[in-house]
Chains A and B, each alone.
Chain A
Amino acid sequence: MTITVDHTRCMHCGACVGTCPMNALTLDETVVWVNDDCVHCGVCVTTCPVGALDDAEG
């Protein structure tokens, strides 16, 4: 499992960043990064108001 960011949907709002319990996401002005601390809890996927995050198989 891996968290993917759909950059065509992403609004760069930071909702996922503040929600992530592992502090594993960072918003660098207009790009969201997921780092190795991610535990694939999926809370960012639900948080994203516009569906830019997904927990993809892989």
Chain B
Amino acid sequence: MAEVQEWDVIVVGAGPGGSMAAREAAKAGLDVLMIEKRQEIGAPVRCGEGIAKVWLDEVGIAKDPGWISHEVKGARIVAPDGKSVDLTEAQAGNETGYVVHRDRFDRTLAEQAVRAGAKTLLKCAATAVLKDGKGAVVGVRAKHWDTELELRAPLVVAADGYESQVGRWAGIDTKLAPRDINTCLQYELVGIDIDPDFNEFHLGMQAPGGYIWIFNKSDDSANVGIGVNLSMISGRAAVKGYLDKFIARHPNLAKGQNVETVAGAVSVCFPIESTTADGIVLVGDAGRMVDPITGGGVVNAVKSGMVAGKVAKECHDASDFSRAFLQRYEKGWRELCEEQLIRNYVAKEKLITLSDDIFNKVIDALQGYRIERVTTMEILRMVQARYPEVVKELESLL
């Protein structure tokens, strides 16, 4: 017999989205249980660990040397032929600024949730959703060590990341086409030669439909990783092959030693139609909210998690956990995140079709210009001056 527990909210997954939902709901006075299938929050890391600085204050996350590994001045975009252009943080906007220790970052956010009153269970994996007679989600079934649990709650926050199984068990469609998936591998290399002030993004067919990143963790170490579009590869271990080849081609990296291997996948899709059903909301990666250009998921996970936690309180007060009522969540996260997701999805659809020749010409055209503020229009204007034929190729980005 399963042990039955009653809660106001069950949060599945203790990543940034889950912890922020738990924090906000607990702060509002709800009884919140956050479950995590791993034995420790934040590990193993599945992230390139580059994040922007500017949004942290808005969401109540104090900058803390405990989870900041390194600070950079900007991003260096590198063409297949090796030419590059530098973007400062203010210009690039996204995914630059800090390179973090994601395990410590996630732990800090979970601590915030706990201090707000949330309870946690680790080594506790959701195995199914509980539904009432009308099909509404009313909790999850879970396994904690060797104990079967029936965790009942009128609202489940599914923050189970890319795997996104809880929402699918509830009947929400989070299925992805291969074209909307980038699969990733990363090594943390120590003892390498890098420019500590710039995180690098290497474009082109060395990472088909994605990019290779070098995100600096210190003056002589970095996360060197790759994301590849699933529609553009075949066979086993293709991703590892691309990354190993890239490192072998770069002696400044090849001399380093690997101290951590990280694998994973991200969605690079158009925002999904629905992230709610009766009694359940999806947050962050589970709701397919990853930026289709950068592959970054933390910011939208935090923002959607906070909306979910606040809406949980509104549901509780109204005693209404229906999908109709949960449109407040749907509307809330989309107002914060959707415009950029759509814009970057359109850009990604174009970018994965571009040849190395085009990337080389675009970066070449930007040589010697001082870029004040990166806008698509400005880049196109510069490219047009040098390679008018390339601009035709890029027109759809307008």
Query: 1/0 per position for B224-257, CB-CB distance to A under 8 A?
Result: 0000001001111111100000000000000000
Known A18-B164, A50-B237; contact A13-B263, beta-carbon cutoff 8 A:
yes
Q: Could you tell me if B183 and A47 are in contact, using CB atoms closer than 8 angstroms?
A: yes
Q: What is the number of residues of chain A that contact chain B, defined by CB distance less than 8 Å?
A: 24
Which chain B residue shows the least CB distance to A54?
B236
Chain A's nearest CB lies how many Å from the CB of B172?
Answer: 11
Which residues of chain B have C-beta atoms less than 8 A from A17's C-beta?
162-163, 165
The interface centre, meaning the residue of B164, B230, B234, B263 with most chain A CB atoms within 10 A of its CB, is: B263
B263's contact among A15, A19, A45, A46, by CB below 8 Å, is which?
Answer: A15
Q: What is the number of residues of chain B that contact chain A, defined by CB distance less than 8 Å?
A: 36
Which residues of chain A have C-beta atoms less than 8 A from B169's C-beta?
23
Chain B's nearest CB lies how many Å from the CB of A5?
Answer: 12
- Contacting B at CB under 8 A, from A6-58, are 11-15, 17-19, 21, 23, 26-29, 43, 45-51, 53-54
Which residues of chain A have C-beta atoms less than 8 A from B234's C-beta?
46
Known A18-B176, A27-B163, A28-B37; contact A51-B240, beta-carbon cutoff 8 A:
yes
Q: Could you tell me if A49 and B165 are in contact, using CB atoms closer than 8 angstroms?
A: no
Query: 1/0 per position for B156-199, CB-CB distance to A under 8 A?
Result: 00000111110011000001101001011100000000000000
A18's contact among B123, B162, B185, B233, by CB below 8 Å, is which?
Answer: B162
Which residues of chain B have C-beta atoms less than 8 A from A23's C-beta?
165, 168-169
Known A23-B165, A50-B185; contact A13-B46, beta-carbon cutoff 8 A:
yes
Q: Tell whether B261 is near chain A: CB-to-CB under 8 Å.
A: yes
Q: Could you tell me if A29 and B165 are in contact, using CB atoms closer than 8 angstroms?
A: no
The interface centre, meaning the residue of A14, A29, A43 with most chain B CB atoms within 10 A of its CB, is: A14
Which chain A residue shows the least CB distance to B185?
A49
Known A28-B125, A29-B37; contact A50-B163, beta-carbon cutoff 8 A:
no
B236's contact among A14, A15, A27, A45, by CB below 8 Å, is which?
Answer: A45
Q: Could you tell me if B165 and A11 are in contact, using CB atoms closer than 8 angstroms?
A: no
- Contacting A at CB under 8 A, from B26-45, are 37-39, 44
Distance between Cα atoms of A29 and B38 in the complex (Å): 6
